[in-house]
Chains A and B, each alone.
Chain A
Amino acid sequence: MEVPILKQSDYLIATIQAALTDEDLLKLHYALVEQVGKHRSKGVIIDVTSLDIMDSFATRTLRSLVHMVKLRGADTVICGIQPEVAFTMVQLGLTLEGISTALDLEEGLALLFKSNNKKRKI
């Protein structure tokens, strides 16, 4: 299933579904990079609440997605990693170093809002 991307003022919210295919992930990659430019978005939230597994492939793809979005001038927050998914990731040795994470969508938005305000002041 393709990942829906929702625009909310300066931010984009992508909600990932349970059975995410490689193709969906790649499509999300392209769609986000394009939409960040089109809407001049300041931040992106990737909501993985429904994702029941995060293997090394998904982690690597998400990391490069975050990096790509960064090059387009926007920050990304990954929110909603489930406790059992987090536990498994740690044992596998997977890290999201340098990537912002939040407990849920609300906290993720707050985080983006804060970093965006900080940037404006500078």
Chain B
Amino acid sequence: MEGGSTIVITSASDIIVARELGRKIGKELNFSLTDLTIIATVISELARNIIVFAKQGNIVIETIRQGKKVGIVITAIDKGPGIPDIFLAMQDGYSTGKGLGLGLPGVRRLVDEFEIFSETAKGTKVLAKKWLL
């Protein structure tokens, strides 16, 4: 694991800051334009969830190396209300808000590795990994 960048997410404008940074880091790693769009979209969805459901939290963007493989990890962490039923939250179209309910399941489809941890009243952590192929 190499050094990462943390962006504090408290308002909608922080979403833009975070996704621009993700794009920049991805570009330095030589990700394709499609992958950069995916990275920015993943950050946008996860940061949006932080604002809507937890009010505030962090987006951490890290570069990872495993042997010859290079990748990017996006971690969204908050100390919000947590997700009572992760299985439900991962279903297409499920939203407890006014959203389309496609953020979490969509992010899972967009990346190579996806993990989600959540505990009611403690918070949520979502990890999304994209490898440079």
User: Smallest Cβ distance from B123 to chain A, in angstroms?
Assistant: 22
User: Smallest Cβ distance from B103 to chain A, in angstroms?
Assistant: 6
Instruction: Verify A92–B40 contact, CB threshold 8 A.
Output: no
Instruction: Verify B99–A57 contact, CB threshold 8 A.
Output: yes
Which residues between 25 and 55 of chain B lie within 8 Å of chain A, taking CB atoms? Answer: 33-34, 36-38, 40-41, 44-45, 48
**One of A56, A60, A82, A85 near B106 (C-beta < 8 A):** A56
A-B contacts at CB below 8 angstroms, number: 68
Instruction: Verify A93–B34 contact, CB threshold 8 A.
Output: no
- Which residue of the partner chain A has the closest CB to B17? A19
User: Smallest Cβ distance from B114 to chain A, in angstroms?
Assistant: 13
Instruction: Verify B106–A52 contact, CB threshold 8 A.
Output: no
**One of B20, B33, B36 near A19 (C-beta < 8 A):** B20
Assess whether B7 is interfacial by the CB under 8 Å rule. Answer: no
Residues of A within 8 A of B133 (CB): none
Q: Mark A46-75, 1 if CB is under 8 A from B, else 0.
A: 000000111111011000000000000000
Instruction: Verify A53–B109 contact, CB threshold 8 A.
Output: no
Instruction: Verify A56–B99 contact, CB threshold 8 A.
Output: yes
Instruction: Verify A88–B105 contact, CB threshold 8 A.
Output: no
Instruction: Verify B100–A52 contact, CB threshold 8 A.
Output: no
- Which residue of the partner chain A has the closest CB to B99? A56
A91 to B111 CA separation, bound complex (whole angstroms):
10
Assess whether A94 is interfacial by the CB under 8 Å rule. Answer: yes
Where the two chains meet, the residues of A that have a C-beta atom closer than 8 Å to any C-beta of B are 19, 21-23, 52-57, 59-60, 82-85, 87-88, 91-94
23 example contacts (A-B, Cβ-Cβ < 8 A) are as follows A53-B37, A53-B40, A54-B41, A55-B103, A56-B48, A56-B100, A56-B103, A56-B106, A57-B99, A60-B99, A85-B37, A87-B34, A88-B34, A88-B38, A88-B41, A88-B110, A91-B38, A91-B106, A92-B102, A92-B110, A93-B92, A93-B105, A94-B106
